[in-house]
Structure 1
Amino acid sequence: MEECIFCKIVAGEINSDIIYEDDKVIAFKDINPEAPLHNLIIPKKHIPTLVDIKEDDKELIGHIYWVASKIAKDEGIAEDGFRVVTNCNKAGGQTVYHIHYHLLGGRNLQWPPG
């Protein structure tokens, strides 16, 4: 966890463009956006991958989706539509091993994603 970039953001050691924060999560703008709106939502608790989510984390994961909905409404993309994406492990495209949720919107998103 000492080397986790997202833990450093949570701890305030690395500056980020924070758009939402509460006692459970923090959300900030992605530094390499793939859409006009591209935010990351992360739990403050370090959980490396989706596979590492424990039963005790169920409320936290539900809260993350509530935050995604709130941000989409606040940013004016809820009605047009948006996407929430989570990658898991290397073959799934995960590059930072602290679970995080990409909130993408502001344009028509294609399917399949890649």
Structure 2
Amino acid sequence: MKQEIEPEHRSLDEIAAWMTPRQFKFCLEFLTCHRATVAYRRAYGEHSTDAARQGYKVRHSPLVEEFLATARQVQWEKHCEEEERKCRERRIHNYLELMPRRLNQARRQR
């Protein structure tokens, strides 16, 4: 009898349900620009001098960190699935064959 494996982490929707709208917007902005100060200013609309400090605080809050980690994991899994699909379409058996330059580098290192 097969047991269904439950995911280790909560889904993005579950995490977002616990966040404030500004925290959620901060996360979306941070995923695009990767700078806490800029994301804080865009999400909270404040151009104060301590935006860097406040952005750091928001960025390192447990809920925001969990959301960002889960979002990055989802992005990585989609990227891997896309690369595997490309390999299957091209009938490539080795990931290095997808990128000839890396294949040549790997051969030189042997």
Q: TM-score, normalised by structure 1?
A: 0.28
Q: TM-score, normalised by structure 2?
A: 0.29
Structure number having the greater helix percentage? 2
> Looking at both structures, which has the greater relative contact order when contacts are Cα pairs under 8 Å and sequence separation is at least 6?
1
